[in-house]
Structure 1
Amino acid sequence: MSPTTTLAGITDRKTENPHAIFIPLPLQGHIIPSVHLAVKLASKGFTITFINTQSIHHSITNSSPEFSTTTDLFSEARKSGLDIRYATVSDGLPVGFDRSLNHDLFMECLLHVFSAHVDEIVGNLVKNDPSINCLIADSFHVWPLMISNKYKLVNISFWTEPALVLNLYYHMDLLKENGHYDPLDKDDGIIDYIPGVESIKPTDLMSYLQATNTNTVCHSIIRKALFEDAKSADIVICNTIQELEPHTISSLTQRQPFYAIGPIFPNKFTQELVSTSLWHELDCTCWLDNKPPGSVLYVSFGSYAHTTKHDLEEIAFGLLQSRVSFVWALRPDLVSSNDTNVLPVGFLDQTKDQGLIVPWCNQKNVISHLSIGGFLTHCGWNSILESIWCGVPLICFPLLTDQFTNRKLVVDDWRIGINLCERKNLVDRVEVKRKVKDFMMQEKSNEVRVEIKKVKRTLEDALAMGGSSQRNVDQFISQVMVKASQIK
C-alpha cells in the first residue's frame, strides 16, 4: 500500500452484498452523519470500507481516549457483527496544520490535491478486493464521477444538508439568469421560479449564493461538485425527511434517483459505536442535574463557522442580563485561531452561578437532558435534526453556508424556532436579552413548543417500521444492487 494510506480491518472475505468505499468530507458536520450512515448500511448488509483523512483520524483519536485505538475507529462496530473496514489517507497537508486558520489553503487542497490521493487508495482497494462495487462520497467532493467511472463503481452521492439547499445549488443557472446570483447589481425580489421551491427570499439563500465575490475556492468547489458532478451521480441519498420537504424532494426525484433517509442517528440516540468528535467532550450532566426541567438554554455555534468578537460579546451580555441559566459550548477558535480570549472581561465571574461554559461537549447528551428548554444555534443541519428529535425549540443565529437556508425552514416553514435578531447583521444585547428571556418563559413560546412536538413525531414516524425513511433505505439498497449488476 502507498505510504499515504493506512488500512485496518481489511479481510480477504468476499461478499455478495454491496461493498462500498465511503469517503466523507473532512469536516465535523459531515463526519457525524457519514459515520452513522456507514453503521446503518452495515447493519443492512453492506460491507463498508470507510476512509477518513489522516488529520480527521488524528483529531478523533486524540479527543476520545476511549476510542483511541491507533489504527481503527471501527473495531467496536466490527465486534458487534458489522463488516466495516477502515482506512486513512492524506488530504495533502501535514496532520498538525491549522486548517481552520488557513481555510482557503485547506479548500485548495481538497479541490486540487485530494483527488490524487483518493485515486491512489481507491485503485489499491479495488485491485485487492474485487467485491468493491460502490463509491459513497460526500456531495461536496469534486472527484466522485471521475473515480467511479475509472474503477467501475456505482456512484452514490451523500448529501448531508436539507434537500432545499441541494436543489438551490442545482439551479444556480436560473438564479444567475434572474439576477439573484453573481450579477453586478443583484435583484432583491422574491425567488419564485425554482422547481420544487414555492418561494424564497434572497437573504435566505446559502451564504455562497449571496456573496458578491464568486471567484473564491469555495465557489469553485460548489460549481464543480454540485452544479456539475453531483448531478451525474447514479443515486443521491439525503439526510432529510420526506414529509418535511415533499415538494423539493419530488422535484429532485424527477432529475435522478433521490432518497430521503434521515434523520441518520445511532440506534440509541446518545450511544455511539464509533467516536465522531474532533474535540474532547466535557461532561455537563452533573451541572444539568441540579437545574429544573426546561430551565436551561443550550448555546452552541457549531464546529467550523466563525463569528465576530462584537457579536459574541453582545450575545454574552444578552445572556448575562436575561438571568436565564445556560450551558455554552464555546470552542476556543470561534472568532479566530489567533484570538482565543473572546469573552468580555469578568463574564465568567459574573455568570458562575448562572451558566456553564465548556470548550466542547457531547451535544446529544446535553440537549436530551430534561433541564434543557431551548437551543441557541448557528442552524447547522445536524444540530437542527438533533434538537427536533429531543423536542427542543430553537433560537436561530446563522453564520455561514446552508445555515441561512436552514433558518428559513426552522422559523418560516416549520415554525419550530425564532430569530435571535430581526435586523440583518445587527446583534444587540438588549434584543438578545429580551428574546432569550421570553423564549425560556414557556408560556410566551408555546407555539414553537407545540409545533416542534409535531415535527418530532414526523421524524419518529419516518424511522419507524414502514416509515418513509425506512422504505427509502430499502429502495435505495435495491437500486444499488441493480446498478452494481449493470456496471460489473
Structure 2
Amino acid sequence: MADTSCCKLHAIIFPLPYQGHINPFVNLAIKLASKGLTITFVHAEHIHHTLTKSNMDKETDLFSAVRKSGLDIRYSTITDGFPVEFDRPLHLDEYWRSLLNDFPARVDEFIGNMIGSADSPPVSVLIADSFFAWSPGIARKYDLLNVSFFTQPALVFTVGCHWDLVTQNGHFPVKGDNEEELKYVPGVDSISTKDLMSYFKEEEIETVVHKAVFAAFHEMNRADFVLHYTVQELESKTLDTLSKNQPTYAIGPVYSFTNRPETTRVAKSLRSELDCTKWLDSKPPGSVLYVSFGSVVQTSKQVIQEIAYGLLLSEVNFLWVAREDILKSGDSDIFPDGFQDEIKGKGLIVPWCDQIMVLSNRGVGGFVTHCGWNSTLESMWCGVPMICNPVAYDQPTNRKLVVEDLKIGINLSDGVSIHREEVAEKISGFMSGSASQGFRDQAEKVKKILHDALDNGGSSERNLDKFIYDLRAKIINL
C-alpha cells in the first residue's frame, strides 16, 4: 500500500443553502478536520446573515470556537447574486434559476481567487452538495478531486441517477395517482411509482427546481467519490450496487457531538430555538407526540386543521413546531379558532426548537414527521418511531424506507385526504395501542444500528477512514 500519511489534504466545502443540507455539511466538516484535513467551509452570505441573527452570534467566523479546539477549519462566504434581504422562498423559481445558471460562475471565480491566494494552503479537494450540478466541471478546471456529498438516502440517489432507465420503461413522468411497481432499478428490489420523489410527478416536470435536480443527477456519476448520508446496514444492497460504478461511502449520520461535544457550538440553526426541556420533563416517559414538518415544506390550512382536531380527539400530550410560514396560502393564522386555549396543559406550540434535544428527551414517544431525511435520521438516532406525512421532494421515498423497509413507523393517512377521525385513531393506536410497543422495540433496534455505525470500528467510521485514505492515495498517484 502507498504511504498516504504525509499527504495533507485541503478541501473546500459547499453546502446547499437549506437547513437539511447545512446540518450534515457542518458536521462533516468537523469530522474531517478531526481526522487531520484542512477545511474551508463556504456559506452563502444570506445564510451567514441568518445564522448569526438567529443564534445571536457576534462572531463573524462561525467556526472560531471549533478552531480553538485545535481543528483547522477556515470559514468564508459567497454571494448568490441577490441582496441578503431578498425573499428567496417567495421567489423560488427566480432563485433556483439563478443557482442553476449564474451561481456556477461565482463559485468558479471564488475558487480561482482562493487557489491564487498566498494565504491559502494548496487546495486539493472540492466537496459539494450533490445537487450542485456545477461541481464536476469546476473541479476538473482547477485539478481538484470532486467529492459529491448526498444528504438523502441511497435509495433516492439510485432512483434519481437511473432517471433515463425509468423513462425508458414508461414510468416517467408519473401521471396522477398511478401505482405501478418498478423492479428494474439497480440495487432496489421494488419501489412503487407512488413512492418516487415528487419531481418524478407529471405536475412538477416544468418547474425550475425539477430542472435543477435532474441536471444534478445527470452529473453525479462524474464524481470521483460519493459520500452518502446513510448507514451501510440500513441500505446495504443499494450501496453495494452503487459501489460497482464509482467509489461510494456510507458515512451517516455524521453527528459531531458524539465524540467532540465542544464542536456543537457551531451555529447551524436558521431559526431561533426555544428550549422545551422543562415542559417535556413534566410529562410521563413516552407520552409526548412530537409534531414537525421541517424547515422548508408548506402545506394547506385544511391539513393543519385536521391534524389539530385529530390531536384533540386523541387526547395525547404533544409538542408541535409550527413555523410561521408553514401554510402555502401565506396565512399567519395557522390553527383553528380556540385551539390554543383547548390544548393548555396537554399541548405546547413553538415556532422552532432543537429537534435532536427534543427527540432525545425521555418524554417523547413518537414523531409526526414530513419525512425529510435529516428529521428521519435524527428520529432513528433517538429511537423514536414515526407517523409519516410526506409532502414533497425525497419525502415519499423516505416514507417507504421508514414504513415498509425498516418498519419503524406508520402512515398518518391511508388515503389521499387527511381526516381528523383517522388522525385520532392512528395517533391513539400508535402511542398506546397494541402495536405501540412493537414500533418502539423496532426503533430501538434501528437506533443501535446507527450508534454502532459511529462507534470505533463501526461501518460509518471505517468508511470515512477508507474515504480519506482513498483520497490521499488518488492525490499521490495523480
TM-score, length basis structure 2: 0.95
Aligned-partner SS, 2:249:
strand
Residue aligning to 2:103 = 114
For 1:422 and 1:211, the matched residues in 2 are separated by: 22
Residue aligning to 2:288 = 296
* Correspondence 1:171 to 2:134: no
CA contact (8 A) 1:396 1:420 kept: yes
Residue aligning to 2:258 = 268
* Correspondence 1:90 to 2:79: yes
Question: Which residue identity is paired with 2:294?
Answer: G
* Correspondence 1:466 to 2:462: no
Give CA-to-partner distance per residue, 1:317-367, whole Å, 9 cap, x none: 111111111111111001148322111111111112211100000001111
For 1:102 and 1:85, the matched residues in 2 are separated by: 31
CA contact (8 A) 1:93 1:109 kept: no
For 2:58 and 2:21, the matched residues in 1 are separated by: 20
Tell me: CA distance 1:59–1:157, structure 2 relative to 1, closer, same or farther (3 Å).
same
For 2:469 and 2:369, the matched residues in 1 are separated by: 37
Offset, 1:186: 9.2
Question: Which residue identity is paired with 2:240?
Answer: S
Question: Which residue identity is paired with 1:118?
Answer: V
Question: Which residue identity is paired with 2:172?
Answer: Y
For 2:290 and 2:110, the matched residues in 1 are separated by: 41
Residue aligning to 1:12 = none
Question: Which residue identity is paired with 1:79?
Answer: K
Tell me: CA distance 1:289–1:188, structure 2 relative to 1, closer, same or farther (3 Å).
closer
Aligned-partner SS, 2:318:
strand
Residue aligning to 2:440 = 449
5+ residue gaps, structure 2, are 1-5
Offset, 1:454: 1.1
Tell me: CA distance 1:185–1:462, structure 2 relative to 1, closer, same or farther (3 Å).
closer
Residue aligning to 1:247 = 237
* Worse-superposed segment, 177-186 or 25-34: 177-186
Give CA-to-partner distance per residue, 1:194-232, whole Å, 9 cap, x none: 110000000000111123341221121122111x21110
Give CA-to-partner distance per residue, 1:55-100, whole Å, 9 cap, x none: 11111110002x331x210000000101000000111211111112
Offset, 1:436: 0.9
Question: Which residue identity is paired with 1:264?
Answer: V
Give CA-to-partner distance per residue, 1:109-165, whole Å, 9 cap, x none: 211111111111111111113521000000000110111011110000000000000
Aligned-partner SS, 1:452:
helix
Alignment of 1:323-338 (within 5 A): 323-336=315-328, 338=330
CA contact (8 A) 2:10 2:121 kept: no
For 1:239 and 1:440, the matched residues in 2 are separated by: 29
For 2:153 and 2:404, the matched residues in 1 are separated by: 15
Aligned-partner SS, 1:193:
coil
* Correspondence 1:40 to 2:31: yes
* Worse-superposed segment, 270-279 or 354-363: 270-279
Residue aligning to 1:105 = 94
For 1:280 and 1:185, the matched residues in 2 are separated by: 39
For 2:177 and 2:337, the matched residues in 1 are separated by: 41
For 2:40 and 2:175, the matched residues in 1 are separated by: 46
CA contact (8 A) 1:53 1:91 kept: yes
Matching residue within 207, 211, 217 for 2:202: 211
Residue aligning to 1:194 = 185
CA contact (8 A) 1:176 1:183 kept: no
* Correspondence 1:26 to 2:6: no
Offset, 1:437: 1.3
Alignment of 1:317-466 (within 5 A): 317-336=309-328, 338-424=330-416, 426-441=417-432, 443-466=434-457
Residue aligning to 1:277 = 269
Question: Which residue identity is paired with 1:39?
Answer: I
For 1:62 and 1:367, the matched residues in 2 are separated by: 25
For 1:312 and 1:186, the matched residues in 2 are separated by: 22
For 2:423 and 2:468, the matched residues in 1 are separated by: 47
C-alpha RMSD of matched pairs (Å)? 1.6
Aligned-partner SS, 1:49:
strand
For 2:255 and 2:110, the matched residues in 1 are separated by: 28
Aligned length: 469
CA contact (8 A) 1:140 1:225 kept: yes
CA contact (8 A) 1:160 1:239 kept: yes
Question: Which residue identity is paired with 1:383?
Answer: S
* Correspondence 1:221 to 2:212: yes
Residue aligning to 1:9 = none
Tell me: CA distance 1:68–1:181, structure 2 relative to 1, closer, same or farther (3 Å).
farther
Tell me: CA distance 1:185–1:447, structure 2 relative to 1, closer, same or farther (3 Å).
closer
CA contact (8 A) 1:159 1:239 kept: yes
Question: Which residue identity is paired with 1:126?
Answer: I
CA contact (8 A) 2:382 2:447 kept: yes
Residue aligning to 1:60 = 51
5+ residue gaps, structure 1, are 1-14
Offset, 1:316: 0.9
Matching residue within 170, 181, 186 for 2:172: 181
CA contact (8 A) 1:141 1:225 kept: yes
Matching residue within 65, 69, 88 for 1:76: 65
* Correspondence 1:256 to 2:250: no
Tell me: CA distance 1:199–1:412, structure 2 relative to 1, closer, same or farther (3 Å).
same
For 1:54 and 1:475, the matched residues in 2 are separated by: 33
TM-score, length basis structure 1: 0.93
Q: Percent identity?
A: 50
Offset, 1:169: 0.4
Residue aligning to 1:476 = 467
Please list every run of at least 4 consecutive aligned residues from structure 1 whose deviation after the TM superposition is greater than 6 angstroms. Answer: 183-187
For 1:113 and 1:357, the matched residues in 2 are separated by: 40
For 2:275 and 2:178, the matched residues in 1 are separated by: 48
CA contact (8 A) 2:300 2:329 kept: no
Residue aligning to 2:224 = 234
Tell me: CA distance 1:186–1:332, structure 2 relative to 1, closer, same or farther (3 Å).
closer
Give CA-to-partner distance per residue, 1:368-393, whole Å, 9 cap, x none: 11100100000011111111111111
For 1:445 and 1:80, the matched residues in 2 are separated by: 43
